[in-house]
Amino acid sequence: MNSANSTTSGLSVGSVIFKSMQSFLKKAARIALHQMGGLAVLRRWHRSEFAVLMFHSFSEADRANVEAICSYISRHFEPVSLSDIVDSIQQGKELPENAIAITIDDGYRNFLLHGHPIFRRYRINTTMYAVTGFSDGRLWLWPDQIEFGLLHTPNEFIRVIVNGEALELPLTNPQDRTESGSLLLESLKTIPNQQRIHFMETFSALCRVEIPPQPPADRSAMSWEDLRAVTEEGVEIGCHTESHPIVSRLTDPIDLDREIRGAKQEMEERLGIPVRHFCYPNGRAIDVGQAAIRCVRESGYDSAVTCTWGLNTLERDRFQIRRTPFDSSVDFRYGIELLAGLHMQQSSAKSDGQ
């Protein structure tokens, strides 16, 4: 064997050994966390911080998982409402140790069917952020329209131009369609909102698919009647804008005001209650911007949540509250690690916040 081959072979063996060690250490760490009290230590370490969980959608298939998560929360955490948290921030009152609040974005009706009954049974407070145009039936969420179009198109390939950049979107199999949808969504989030609206006006023809005026049943919205009903059962209703734009991409102050202040006013008129809480769509720092934060403050909200991962202290700016992504299908072991404060370093790479 010559020296070059010997070196290559040595590197390959070393790489295998390194990966094996990594795998062993990960397994050992999980054993320590889940079987030797590590999670309890972490909960105690973070006991003075509060968590805000972020859900979106619920399904029949995930009910058992949601039940398990709620059972775990009721045993190891102190569920509080978002208003409790905001009141503590404003008034300097202490929260219970390991306080946790549950938020749900977008206002899908599947929360009413597969989420709300479970949270209510465990006496866990929730805050639902609704999109006024969605609840009105005037629109369905544009990310869902992207998913629908790419799922049903007969095309096996689409080429689009977004912000001067050509995107090549293969659509030959389900995985391609999912990955292409994610790429297109992320690109559309970076452009001015009016450009994104124009693109959506042409999207149906591009896909050769008729986008129906109403979403499929599993993507339908809670109506105003639904929202009024759950408020009577203790759910707080917050605002998630009028049409779910990326607020940092709203170039006209009139549009920004309509999406934030105008949506609040409509919700209060429709529901007959104060709307105290706001949620930034997509919610990463790049998606929010100072103009939107200022508009939220000036519109009379008491809080706003982001999609930046992390726990919070009572010194946190109540208009930039961090959250922990926690959708109903999350792996249970990974989920309770998130609850303990792990994996937050992934915030910049994996913040969801549709």
Range from 27-41, 171-185, 198-212 carrying the lowest mean pLDDT: 27-41
327 — pLDDT class (breaks 50, 70, 90): confident
Instruction: Give the residue from 120, 65, 125 showing the smallest Cα distance to 101.
Output: 125
Q: What sign does the CA torsion over 133, 351, 218, 105 have?
A: negative
Cβ 288 vs Cβ 294: under 8 Å? no
Pairing of strands 157-162, 165-170: antiparallel
User: Average pLDDT, stretch 187-208?
Assistant: 96
Cβ 72 vs Cβ 100: under 8 Å? no
CATH code for the part of the protein at 45-138+216-350: 3.20.20.370
Question: Is the pLDDT confidence value at 7 over 60?
Answer: no
Cα dihedral 238→242→247→250 (10° resolution): -160
Could you tell me the two tokens for 286? 């790049």
Domain ranges across the chain? 1-36, 45-138+216-350, 142-207
| Distance of alpha carbon 190 from alpha carbon 163, whole angstroms | 8
| Distance of alpha carbon 257 from alpha carbon 253, whole angstroms | 6
The identity of residue 347, as a single letter, is S
Cβ 264 vs Cβ 301: under 8 Å? yes
pTM for this predicted structure: 0.89
Average pLDDT, the chain: 90
Cα dihedral 207→208→214→217 (10° resolution): -70
170 — pLDDT class (breaks 50, 70, 90): very high
Cβ 107 vs Cβ 130: under 8 Å? yes
pLDDT given for residue 57 in this prediction:
95
Share of the chain above pLDDT 70, in %: 87
Supply φ then ψ for residue 126, to 5 degrees: -135, 155
Q: What sign does the CA torsion over 209, 201, 224, 58 have?
A: positive
